[in-house]
Amino acid sequence: MSALVRSELLKIRTIRSWWAYLIVIVVFTGLAVAAQIGSADGIDRGTVDFQSDLVETAGIALLLAIILGITIVTTEFRFGTVTPTFLATPSRQLVIGAKAIAGVVVAAGFALLSLVVVAAVALPWLTIVDAETHLADSEIWTRAAQQILSSVLWALMGVAIGAVVQSQVAALVGTLVWIFLGETLLIGIFGLVDVDGAAAYLPFQALDAADGSGGGDLLSYGPGVAVSLVWVALLGIVGAARTHRRDVT
């Protein structure tokens, strides 16, 4: 299995889009942190609440994690590399499993990189403006850890979606439309038929709760993580079954 994961990690690193992921994370996280600090009041800047919100700008990594998760599965079908992949490893579940593990590793790395950028921008800036920094505060560290776990969950969701849909364009576009339109629409419908409570169990509402920022009608943190994992498992099972049955032509 470790050989397979190494192979999957090598696949990710040996195409140019790898650098695009890293550049997007660094640039967008940096801009988001700068905008947030720049627009805040002097007094707020020194609070734990403000600074843990800064940690949350590392959430840029989530979107890239799910795109990566979808792509590492669907790119094999798009370019036909799935043929040599399955010839080398006839057990297709093992291949999907190795991709999931590679996705977890890289997604955790994405979140870490994002957090490093947050620190690299925020710490000098806050020091210069004489705001007290709360690096030792447990809330900051909890939030950072939750960002990493959250990124991992989004990547796993991406791998599962990729295994179910298999067509790269359909999976990427479908997922983005679902996140930004589909769930909003469903939440509205749930409200109309008086089952508002069900909305929190939708996959991306659960994932939203699992980044620890809380709020609104979302589940609390623990249940949010649990429901996210259930969705990943359900889609993962369907995806593994579809991949197993598929004729690779």
Partner 1 sequence: MIEVANLSKRFGKTQAVRDLSFSVEPGTVTGFLGPNGAGKSTTLRSVLGLVHPDAGGATVLGVPYRELDRPVHRVGAVLEASEVHPGRSGRNHLRVLAAAAGLPRSRVEEVLALVELSAAAKRRVKGYSLGMRQRLGLATALLGDPEVLVLDEPANGLDPAGVRWLRDLLRSLAAEDRTILVSSHVLAEVAQTVDRVVIIHRGTLVQQASIAEVLAGAQGATRVRSPEASRLRGLLTAAGATVTDVGKGTLAVDRAPEKIGEIAAANGIVLHELTIERATLEEVFLELTGGETTQ
Residues that bind partner 1 (CB under 8 A): 3-4, 6-7, 10-11, 14-17, 75, 79-81, 83-91, 245, 247-249
For partner 1, the closer of residues 16 and 136 by Cβ is 16
Measured between alpha carbons, how far is 187 from 195 in angstroms, rounded to an integer? Answer: 9
Count of all residues that appear for the chain in the document: 249
Residue 112: how many other CB atoms lie within 10 Å: 16
For partner 1, the closer of residues 131 and 240 by Cβ is 240
The least CB distance from residue 130 to partner 1, in Å, is: 48
For partner 1, the closer of residues 93 and 184 by Cβ is 93
The least CB distance from residue 87 to partner 1, in Å, is: 6
For partner 1, the closer of residues 1 and 192 by Cβ is 1
> Residue 139: which residues within 8 A CB-CB, separation 6 or more?
48, 52
The least CB distance from residue 9 to partner 1, in Å, is: 9
Residue 193 backbone phi and psi in degrees, to 5 = -95, 15
For partner 1, the closer of residues 11 and 221 by Cβ is 11
C-alpha torsion sign, points 78, 84, 88, 92 = positive
Question: Which residue reads 């050989």 in tokens?
Answer: 3
Contact 181, 191 (CB under 8 A): no
The least CB distance from residue 163 to partner 1, in Å, is: 17
The least CB distance from residue 6 to partner 1, in Å, is: 5
CA distances from residue 209 to 54, 152, 200, 215, 222 in whole angstroms, order as listed: 17, 14, 8, 8, 9
